[in-house]
Amino acid sequence: ETGVTQSPTHLIKTRGQQVTLRCSSQSGHNTVSWYQQALGQGPQFIFQYYREEENGRGNFPPRFSGLQFPNYSSELNVNALELDDSALYLCASSQGQGTRFEAFFGQGTRLTVV
């Protein structure tokens, strides 16, 4: 059974650029959720994908967007990067419609916007 993997592990971007982060869900899981964890804070829910459709969204602007593919892997895209987007981005996979019972997290992508 493979776990949740994210790529890249670290990334440095310039303000105004666009970034794509990737996540492979755990085998057998059909739901992927994305979280933003700013330094010293708890993770904040960005959005969730279930069977390739967005299935819930947190309080994040539209420049945060995503995709889920038929193999249930997922991408998080952020346009027009701002300095405040610097954070650890965590992907979590689960079975069923959302993290009602248990979510498994990847190691995260550390994004630095300069």
Residue burial 56-73, b: 16+ Cβ < 10 Å; e: rest: eeeebeeebbbebeeebb
Closest approach of other proteins to the CB of residue 16, in Å? 27
Q: Give the residues lining the site for other proteins (CB under 8 A).
A: 4, 6, 33, 35, 40-45, 48, 50, 55-58, 90, 92, 97-108, 110
Least spacing, CB of residue 56 vs other proteins, in Å: 3
Q: Closest CB to other proteins among 17 and 61?
A: 61
Output 85 or 94, the one with its CB closest to other proteins.
Answer: 94
